[in-house]
Amino acid sequence: MNNSVTNTARLLWAGLRALLVLTVVCGVLYPLAVTGVAQGLFNDKANGSEITADGKVVGSSLIGQAYNLPLKKGQETPEPDLKWFQGRPQNGLGVNSVNTRYKLILSGATNRSGDNADLITWVKDAKAAVVKDNSVPGYTVEPADVPAEAVTSSGSGLDPDISPDYADIQVHRVAERNGLSVAQVRKLVDEHTDGRTLGFIGEPRVNVLELNIALKGLVAKS
């Protein structure tokens, strides 16, 4: 009986020591080591890939933002502020959208199939809106020119980038709304277009937040 109690006590003490050691190693030392390496080698990325403007953090290069007008009384869906470049639609694309304002807690896909009636309607409405919003005197956007990501949300609904094609069809509208020349705005887009990673991974892209920050600076100088 005494041996049984002794063995049990010994096993419990051994288990407790293992728990304490693993807690210190895995719960304290390892996280500190990883954090130290991350801060030392990838400081910007480890801190959220923050983007600053006028000395303030205004967002992350990894998360998209909405550029909408303030909601009016009784209005459910915000209208885009057309003086800015617009990113991809949020999930849902309409009043019943899953994520109408890039709220991180609601990140996710619509989970609707390509033949879903609601999705088809949303895409058609979104394409019509892109054509209408970006057609200005002397420049008309053709429906065939609207790229897919201009009318569909990403899997997360938080995609920060758009294609150069989508940025290009917004150039005339942004120029008109801000009193700039088309050449000035197109040059801005070209300067903020990133190529494929390592030359072959992914597609060329434009970070909308970085582009709009540069646009704000250009407007301030003009």
pLDDT at 70: 86
Q: Hey, what's the torsion of the CAs at 146, 134, 186, 44, to 10 degrees?
A: -80
pLDDT tens track of the chain, all 222 residues? 567 777 888 888 989 999 999 999 999 999 999 988 888 887 777 777 888 888 888 888 888 888 888 888 887 777 889 999 999 886 544 433 444 445 555 666 677 777 888 888 888 888 999 999 999 999 999 999 999 989 887 777 788 999 999 999 999 999 999 999 999 999 999 999 999 988 888 899 999 999 999 999 999 888
Give the model's pLDDT for residue 43. 78
pLDDT number for residue 92? 46
From residue 49, alpha-carbon distances to 57, 61, 150, 161, 209 in Å are 10, 6, 24, 14, 12
Spatial separation of the C-alpha atoms in residues 122 and 124, rounded to whole Å? 6
The pLDDT score that the predictor gives to residue 94 is 42
What is the pLDDT, as a whole number, of residue 208? 95
Please tell me the predicted confidence (pLDDT) of residue 219.
93
What is the predicted pLDDT for the residue at 102?
57
Contact 189/178 with Cβ under 8 angstroms? no
CA atoms of 28 and 18, how far apart (whole Å)? 15
Residues 6+ apart with CB under 8 A from 137: 176
pTM of the predicted model over 0.85 = no
Residue carrying structure tokens 């150069």 = 164
* CB 206, CB 164: distance < 8 Å: yes
pLDDT, position 193 = 95
